[in-house]
Amino acid sequence: MTNHKKTEKQEKVQHTVCMDCSSYSTYCYRCDDFVVNDTKLGLVQKVREHLQNLENSAFTSDRHRKRKLLENSSLNSKLLKVNGSTTALCATGLRNLGNTCFMNAILQSLSNIQQFCCYFKELPAVELRNGKTAGRRTYHTRSQGDNNVSLVEEFRKTLCALWQGSQTAFSPESLFYVVWKIMPNFRGYQQQDAHEFMRYLLDHLHLELQGGFNGVSRSVILQESSNLSASNKCCINGASTVVTAIFGGILQNEVNCLICGTESRKFDPFLDLSLDIPSQFRNKRTKNQESGPMCTLRDCLRSFTDLEELDETELYMCHKCKKKQKSTKKFWIQKLPKVLCLHLKRFHWTAYLRNKVDTYVEFPLRGLDMKCYLLEPENSGPESCLYDLVAVVVHHGSGVGSGHYTAYAAHEGRWFHFNDSTVTLTDEETVGKAKAYILFYVERQAKPGAEKL
């Protein structure tokens, strides 16, 4: 850079402003160099700031205008023609917070199980803070301790936000933060297994409800849970709650020693049943593939309950023989739950990785009959063993650590497809073609003329 003294003859110059340091310079054609003029630096800086403010203001107003147009178009898109009349689509999507589709699919499925969802929505809200924050709800931040988080409360607020129709998508960030706090396995933004998340979620809801919630005594909550069904108690880790009252069933596990014939019986509570896809069907990937028979949900249930001979790695410790012996094992369902959750085991570990079984499994949308799997079918009523489908979770992709989860669910006689923040109406044919990962069936009511899904 050259410093010049003033000369009587002014040279022709070109004025420029440096975009990096904001210095005001002139270009001298005689010296073929730039000359710094520090006296104008402050003025130029003010001009730059003013132009930047104008640009930001224009950008902000344009963004607000686009958002308003988007909201109006979203509201218009939620008006649908049903039976010739216009009705509002009140379903609300869940925003993806970073590979959280596994959580969104489970939450949307659970929100459409009416008896389960209504119980949480009717729970009292968390008390508002006193002082300066009175009148405003408490939002969890990372500076708060573990004692300030409640999975039940955040789950309740999420369920209340769905199906209100006031917004197209809800962000479950407060719930996700609590999940991080109490479920370390789900911290971070990597893809997770939806079934594993569902089990952790139900288990922690069950434990928190047992300990009391939001100032409501433990006895009151347990009394409300018991009122759901006095005969439908399946205690897992203590007293019954709404989780076990709705999802809880009981299995009878029979093991017979092949050497002495000793029989051992054991009763195990369950919240869901994990079913293998039989090996003979694992190469059939689509519903329209013609080679070989089609795998059905009944095939998977039969494989789960059929008599099985345990291999060498699972020898049974016979108390009569006083050593491990070859044996057979068989499962019976001793008590069916109100909501039957069936998990198809699509992911299997090999020597080095976890592969996905992409077989299409045909499943009924209505009238799943579970009577033949009961230990004492003669003691069940004609309608108590029939189940109707209410929700399906689907995994799209090739592996458990990748891909995408969506859900189908029935609400007031209509089927919806939940794909994170996007919710669309669909039909039964589309639902029936889905490669189900988790199926939720609701017990059919025995009342004559009851509405069927």
Active-site residues, by number, are: 101, 404
Return the closest-CA partner of residue 175 out of 197, 191, 190, 195.
Answer: 197
Greatest distance between any 2 Cα atoms in the chain: 121
Residue pair 97/172 in contact (Cβ under 8 Å)? The answer is yes
Return the closest-CA partner of residue 157 out of 145, 178, 176, 175.
Answer: 175
Distance CA 320, CA 417 (A): 55
Phi, psi of 444 (to 5 degrees): -75, 135
Return the closest-CA partner of residue 153 out of 215, 214, 242.
Answer: 214
Tokens 């033949």, residue located? 372
Torsion of CA 239, 241, 146, 124, to 10 degrees: -130
Residue pair 22/41 in contact (Cβ under 8 Å)? The answer is yes
- Give the other-Cβ count within 10 Å of 193's Cβ: 19
Residues in the chain: 453
Angle CA 70–72–76, to nearest 5: 115
**Single-letter amino acid code for the residue at 423:** V
